Structure 1
Amino acid sequence: MSQIFARNMTWKEYQAKVEDHILILPVGSTEQHGPHLPLGVDCIIAEKYSESIAEKVKAVIAPTITYGYKSQPASGGGPLFPGTVDLNGSTLTSLIYDVLKEFIADGWKNILIMSGHYENDAFLAEACDLLLRDQKEEFPKILLSNWWDNISPELLPTIFDEVEFKGWAMEHAAITETSMMMYFTPDLVHEDLITDDGIENAPTYQRFPPSKNLIPASGCLYTGKSSTAEKGRLIVENVSTNIISFLKKEFTVERKEIYVTNSSINK
């Protein structure tokens, strides 16, 4: 799979793909994910989804953006934990704007931003809007998406078969992210440290400065128990299929003749 990453290409190899490939830009964050998952969960998941998509369509994966907008206490633990490194909203907007402007200057017409961090989306949208708001032509076109908005509702009862689904904000380091990490990178998951910790009643407001007593010392917002690699596989296959469906609608996407099994994304 190394040949799909722009970072592994020469400039001539990269240039040769601009006309008939999609460019995928993974965007994550660097933040705590409890005692059982690494700081780079959002980056890993965004990049692995990009790989999964690139197995089915002609795509090049741009270097991953590894820092994101401020982690919020009730959806990521906030700035209360070492290792969480945040960007201001204006910084993230400017970063994404500048990167996209360069890619468009290279000739890319079809660009997908694959977000893996809940708090990023408004600033990614702002960058895209500022860049293309005065454009009259249909292309270049940028699509912004994430994994949680692309899970089919009928799959949720299978994923949350033992505990209640309490919303995506509460799924930080919980069942979905833990299951996907078990599937993508099992060697980075400390299964023995998965906890039942969580917020009993999530607040309906935000407080500044954030309360140090809002979330457990573990950093977990909801239980990660009942996570499995099989659930991760089901999520990844479902989400990837749904994303590819709208890529085919919005872009001119050529399916590859030879399909690679999903297991290859772990290699």
Structure 2
Amino acid sequence: MNKHLVANMTWQEYQSKVKDNILILPIGSIEQHGPHLPLGVDAMLAEKISLSIAEKVNAVVAPTVSYGYKSLPASGGGPLFPGTIDLKGSTVISLVYDLLEEFLHDGWQKILMVSCHYENEAFLAEAADLIMRNQKEEYPKILLSNWWDNLSEEVIPQVFDEVKFPGWALEHAAIAETSMMMHFAPELVREELIVDEGIDNPPTYQSFPPSPSLIPPSGCLHTARSSSAEKGRLIIENSTDNIVSFLEKEFFAKVTITD
């Protein structure tokens, strides 16, 4: 039983954490990730990364928001594939607003939202802004971040040592996510189904409805070739350390020293 998960706590245990801990809210999505990864990659990574952060600071992890904003064709495959379950932007804002409101009502002063779905960010930012825009004091404070913006520059060439980095939008279900899943949940990675294909010339515009010819039949936007559990470990450790660094700055978080 993980001691950092709010869902595993009694209400008294939960209440005892409010004053001196950070609350982490993981947010992902349910969307296609090619033939080799499960639909819940974004939600799984959001929770695993949040727990990795919680191991290093005084933090607890709220139940993961597993649904997210629409998966767009050139950054997630879009609605062209069964199993991609999308929310409207207004729904994401309302859902996250309501959750933040409840956490603030419980007394949380330090909240971190960890997003692992590329398309979520503007709507999560809107929810946080709406609930905090009239506040004059420094606390309570809400932070929003993700793993890809917290990778150090020197790490990216180590991850993309065989395949050129295509940009984060096309990295959907490709080397980074596949490697992280190999690190966290290798039993869920169908390595034999990895295909070496993607979008050669991503459009500079969006089309409604999306064109079925834009995405390869596999749903992959870029190759996952050269993925490895070691690269996943490197991504997680580096991004987690960098997130902990800004938490120390913003929240004066106490780092837990582990062996």
1:81-96 aligned at under 5 Å gives the runs 81-96=81-96
Gaps of 5+ in 1: 261-267
Q: Deviations over 1:58-84 (max 9, x none)?
A: 111000000000000000000010100
Q: Distance in 2 between matches of 1:194 and 1:153?
A: 27
2:245 corresponding residue in structure 1: 245
The answer for the alignment partner of 1:137 in structure 2 is: 137
Q: How many Å separate the matches in 1 of 2:183 and 2:163?
A: 20
1:71-110 → structure 2 map (5 Å cutoff)? 71-110=71-110
Mapped partners of 1:97, 1:225: distance in 2: 39
Amino acid in structure 2 at the alignment position of 1:45: L
Tell me if 1:158 matches 2:158.
yes
CA distance in 2, matches of 1:179, 1:11: 36
**Whole-angstrom distance in 2 between the partners of 1:246 and 1:170:** 27
How far apart in 2 are the matches of 1:229 and 1:3?
A: 25
Residue aligned with 1:12, SS: helix
Matching residue of 1:214: 214
Task: Quote the offset at 1:256 in angstroms.
Answer: 2.2
Match of 2:116 in 1: 116
Q: In the alignment, which residue of structure 2 is the partner of 1:177?
A: 177
Q: Which residue pairs with 2:37 in the alignment?
A: 37
Deviation at 1:253, TM superposition (A): 1.0
Partner of 1:256: 256
Kindly state the Cα deviation for residue 3 of structure 1 after the two structures are TM-superposed: 1.3
Count of matched residue pairs:
259
2: CA distance between counterparts of 1:17 and 1:179?
33
Aligned mates of 1:83, 1:60 — CA distance in 2: 30
- Aligned partner of 1:265 in structure 2 is none
CA distance in 1, matches of 2:250, 2:237: 20
Q: What do the CA deviations read for 1:117-163 (whole angstroms, capped 9, x no partner)?
A: 00000000000000000000000000000011001111111111111
SS of equivalent to 1:153: coil
Q: Percent identity?
A: 68
Residue segments in structure 2 that go unaligned for 5+ positions in a row? none
Encode CA deviations 1:88-142: one digit per residue, 9 max, x unaligned: 0000000000000000000000000000000000000000000000000000000
Offset at residue 252 of structure 1 (A): 2.6
Question: C-alpha root-mean-square deviation of aligned residues, in Å?
Answer: 0.8
2:233 aligns with 233
TM-score by length of 1: 0.96
Aligned equivalents of 2:31, 2:102: Cα separation in 1? 27
> Aligned equivalents of 1:92 and 1:173: distance in 2?
22
Q: What is the SS of the residue equivalent to 1:143?
A: strand
Instruction: Provide the rounded CA distance (Å) in 1 between the counterparts of 2:134 and 2:106.
Output: 19
Residues 219-265 of structure 1: per-residue CA shift (max 9 Å, x gap): 000000000000001111100000000000000312225x16xxxxx
1:120 aligns to what SS in structure 2? helix
- Equivalent AA in structure 2 for residue 150 of structure 1: N
Partner of 1:33, secondary structure, is: coil
Q: Provide the C-alpha distance between the structure 1 equivalents of 2:34 and 2:145, rounded to a whole number of angstroms.
A: 25
SS of equivalent to 2:111? strand
The ranges of structure 1 where at least 4 consecutive aligned residues each deviate by more than 4 angstroms after the TM superposition are: none
